[in-house]
């Protein structure tokens, strides 16, 4: 998901409007002109094509699943049987009977803790690996092996270690999302131009000042690529981990719905998961675009 | 008068995989306070290496760099460098780039208001105060180099080191910046060492021109004093006899006695 999203031209389009204006003054003035018609056209050109695709997909799905012995529910059936879940995301009828938005929020909370830790530890380790040739020689092979272990393979070990489902799920997120952060940060740090290092040496910046003032901003575009892949992976991992550990997250809801044969509920939950993952990806991308403005051009 | 900066029998060689290549050999030079010295030579003669040695960015193999009779072997703000490609940090504005240097060098000794005034003074000196909130990507190459000079001057260095500062600029912008550097030198009297491969630039700006022989094992071939009164104006000098004589001397050194031989191994 995240890899596709990075190639998405819309993502690249996001930071551009500010830039051409600064480099080439003439085109900027032309582009900055405010034209309501042009804006409406642009909105339509971004919204209409996906809307058409979704409608066509729903129609095909409806036709394919409308025979009486179809094994999966059709869209209209989902709408009728899971209407409560769709219309009331925030209901709360007791500890195990809550709206999907609450469940997503609980899962998001776990992601926030696990991914937050992964971001901090990942950037620190990545900086170490990028900066020190010996740290790289020692740690890089280990990282390369560990990062190929599938998220759920960590779950039994972490259940044994933590003896509780919630920290285990958080650990799985952590261990899943940390690798792309480490690897991308290391590449970013290794690519810091020698001139920036010379500037910091002439100014006699200490290690901490160099890290905060030179290394992190210079490697920021790489770091945010890693964070973006990481948040995508951690959202994949949380749903799978919750299916096994239980609790009230969105992943367990799907497992529970399967056990009680509520297929329409599963489909609604999938839509929630997809939209949330998309929003997380865009959120990290937007933060990255905001933080790294001006660093790409020389 | 004792020398302000002394390069005392400096050798520099790089070892790469068992192979040792000698870049500089027996460099001896003394520079007085307030002097403007250019180092000129063909590409690959190790003049940038020499500047890096003075800056402390690379260590000497033998010999020593002495500043006010003290050995320097690590980089520091009292030997500020203006890099050929400006090396401004692209995520900081012009003001913030200079502030990074000023708050590091004067963070303890000057108040916030004093530091602000000092940054603006240096920006004024290079006529870049108007662009204080712009990022490096938003200003031209010549302007970036001006900011690079302002950043170096803001460290209040004992020696200003210019590493082919105008090499990447077009001829007109280069002339403007040369005038700016001359003006700053006359106002501040800063001791300056400039690496260049432009003969006119060397003669116009320098009190002395240090001419390097070709590598490997390059050394100082000749030192030429430029006895031209300051302030110097480029238009008047273009027909000045002393200027032309100096120019001819450098050209003769570079193209007759030490002609650049491609792939001289």
At residue B75's C-alpha, the angle toward residues A219 and A223, to 5°, is: 5
Per CB-CB distance under 8 Å, the chain B contacts of A213 are 100
The answer to whether ipTM exceeds 0.90 is no
Residue B195 three-state SS = strand
Walk across the sheet containing B208-212 and list its strands. Answer: B79-82, B159-163, B191-196, B36-40, B208-212, B220-225
Q: Is residue A252 part of a domain?
A: yes
* Cβ pair B76, B105 in contact under 8 A: no
Nearest residue to A174 via CA among A120, A117, A229: A117
Domain extent at residue A168: 73-292
pLDDT at A238: 86
Q: Is residue A6 part of a domain?
A: no
Interface contacts (A, B; CB < 8 Å): 65
Give residue-wise pLDDT tens across range B226-239. 999 888 998 888 88
User: What is the pLDDT confidence band of residue B84, given thresholds at 50, 70 and 90?
Assistant: confident
Look at A10 and A105; give whichever has higher pLDDT: A105
> What does the block give as tokens for B194?
């400039």
* Cβ pair B226, B70 in contact under 8 A: no
Residue from the list B57, B76, B137 with its beta carbon closest to the beta carbon of A297: B137
Give residue-wise pLDDT tens across range B172-224. 888 989 999 999 898 888 999 999 989 999 999 999 999 999 878 888 988 99
| B159-163 and B36-40 beta bridge pairing | unpaired
pLDDT at B262: 58
Walk across the sheet containing B70-71 and list its strands. Answer: B19-31, B5-16, B62-67, B70-71
**Interface with B, mutate which of A202, A212, A218, A288 (most B CBs under 10 A):** A202
Asked if the Cβ–Cβ distance from B155 to A217 is below 8 Å, we say: no
Give residue-wise pLDDT tens across range B131-181. 999 999 999 989 999 999 999 999 999 999 999 988 878 888 889 899 999
Find residue B211's DSSP bridge partners. Answer: B40, B222
Asked if the Cβ–Cβ distance from B75 to A202 is below 8 Å, we say: yes
Q: Does A32 have pLDDT greater than 70?
A: no
Least confident of A5-14, B126-135, B192-201: A5-14
d(CA B200, CA B240): 13
Q: What is the CATH number of the domain that holds A208?
A: 1.10.3720.10
d(CA B209, CA B29): 11
Asked if the Cβ–Cβ distance from A201 to B80 is below 8 Å, we say: no
pLDDT at B214: 86
> What does the block give as tokens for B204?
């116009």
* HSE value, Cβ hemisphere, 13 Å, CA-based, for B159: 30
C-alpha dihedral (B172, B176, B182, B188), degrees to nearest 10: -150
Per CB-CB distance under 8 Å, the chain B contacts of A195 are 83, 85, 87
* pLDDT, average across residues B112-121: 94
Q: Is residue A85 part of a domain?
A: yes
A199 touches chain B (CB under 8 A): yes
Closest residue, chain B, to A209 (C-alpha): B104
* Cβ pair A103, A257 in contact under 8 A: no
Q: Domains in chain B, ordered, with CATH?
A: 1-77+193-264 (3.40.50.300)
Q: Is residue A65 part of a domain?
A: no
pTM: 0.78
Q: Is residue A86 part of a domain?
A: yes
A191 touches chain B (CB under 8 A): no
A22 touches chain B (CB under 8 A): yes
Per CB-CB distance under 8 Å, the chain B contacts of A217 are 89, 91-92
**Interface with B, mutate which of A198, A203, A289, A291 (most B CBs under 10 A):** A203
Residue from the list A201, A203, A218 with its beta carbon closest to the beta carbon of B57: A201
Q: Which residues contact A281 (CB under 8 A, 6 or more apart)?
A: A1, A2, A5, A228, A231, A232
If one counts the domains in chain A, the total is 1
Shortest distance, CA A288 to any CA of chain B (angstroms) = 13
Shortest distance, CA B155 to any CA of chain A (angstroms) = 9
Find residue B6's DSSP bridge partners. Answer: B30, B66
Q: Is residue A232 part of a domain?
A: yes
| CB count in 10 Å sphere of residue A284 | 23
Q: Is residue A279 part of a domain?
A: yes
pLDDT at B261: 64
Q: What are phi and psi of B210, to 5 degrees?
A: -95, 120
């Amino acid at each position: 998901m995240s890899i596709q999203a990075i190639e998405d031209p819309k993502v690249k389009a996001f930071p551009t409007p500010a830039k051409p204006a600064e480099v080439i003054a003439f085109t900027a003035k032309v582009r900055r002109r405010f034209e309501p018609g042009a804006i409406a056209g642009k909105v339509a050109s971004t919204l209409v094509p996906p809307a058409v695709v979704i409608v066509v997909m729903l129609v095909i799905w409806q036709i394919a699943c409308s025979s009486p012995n179809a094994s999966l529910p059709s869209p209209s059936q989902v709408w009728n049987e899971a209407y409560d879940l769709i219309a009331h995301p925030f209901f709360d009828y007791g500890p195990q009977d809550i709206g999907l938005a609450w469940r997503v929020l609980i899962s998001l909370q776990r992601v926030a803790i696990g991914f937050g830790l992964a971001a901090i530890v990942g950037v620190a380790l990545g900086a170490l690996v990028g900066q020190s040739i010996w740290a790289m020689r020692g740690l890089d092979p280990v990282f390369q092996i560990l990062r190929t272990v599938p998220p759920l393979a960590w779950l039994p070990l972490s259940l044994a270690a933590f003896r509780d489902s919630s920290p285990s799920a958080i650990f799985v997120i952590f261990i899943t999302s940390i690798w792309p952060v480490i690897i991308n940060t290391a590449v970013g740090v290794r690519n810091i131009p020698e001139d920036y290092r010379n500037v910091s040496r002439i100014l006699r910046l200490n290690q901490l000042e160099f890290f905060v003032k030179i290394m992190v901003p210079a490697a920021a575009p790489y770091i945010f690529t890693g964070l973006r892949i990481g948040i995508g992976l951690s959202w994949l991992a949380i749903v799978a981990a919750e299916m096994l550990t239980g609790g009230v997250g969105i992943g367990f809801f799907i497992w529970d719905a399967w056990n009680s044969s509520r297929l329409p509920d599963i489909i609604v939950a999938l839509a929630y998961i997809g939209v949330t993952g998309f929003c997380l990806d865009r959120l990290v991308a937007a933060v990255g675009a905001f933080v790294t403005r001006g660093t790409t051009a020389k | 008068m004792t020398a302000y900066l002394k390069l005392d029998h400096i050798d520099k060689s790089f070892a790469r995989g068992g192979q040792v290549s000698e870049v500089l050999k027996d460099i001896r030079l003394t520079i007085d306070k307030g002097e403007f010295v250019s180092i000129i030579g063909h590409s690959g003669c190790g003049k940038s290496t020499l500047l890096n040695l003075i800056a402390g960015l690379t260590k000497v193999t033998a010999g020593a760099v002495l500043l006010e009779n003290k050995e320097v072997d690590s980089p520091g703000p009292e030997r500020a460098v203006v890099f050929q490609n400006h090396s401004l940090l692209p995520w900081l504005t012009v003001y913030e780039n200079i502030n990074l240097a000023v708050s590091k060098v004067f963070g303890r000794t000057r108040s916030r208001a004093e530091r602000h005034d000092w940054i603006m003074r240096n920006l004024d000196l290079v006529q870049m105060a108007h662009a204080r909130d712009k990022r490096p990507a938003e200003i031209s190459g010549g302007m970036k180099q001006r900011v690079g000079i302002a950043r170096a001057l803001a460290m209040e260095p004992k020696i200003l080191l210019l590493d082919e500062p105008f090499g990447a600029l077009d001829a007109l912008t280069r002339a403007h910046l040369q005038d700016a550097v001359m003006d700053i030198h006359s106002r501040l009297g800063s001791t300056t060492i400039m690496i260049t491969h432009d003969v006119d630039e060397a003669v116009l700006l320098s009190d002395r021109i240090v001419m390097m022989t070709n590598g490997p094992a390059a050394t100082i071939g000749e030192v030429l004093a430029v006895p031209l009164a300051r302030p110097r104006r480029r238009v008047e000098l273009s027909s000045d006899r002393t200027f032309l004589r100096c120019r001819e001397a450098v050209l003769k050194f570079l193209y007759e006695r030490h002609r650049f031989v491609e792939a001289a191994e």
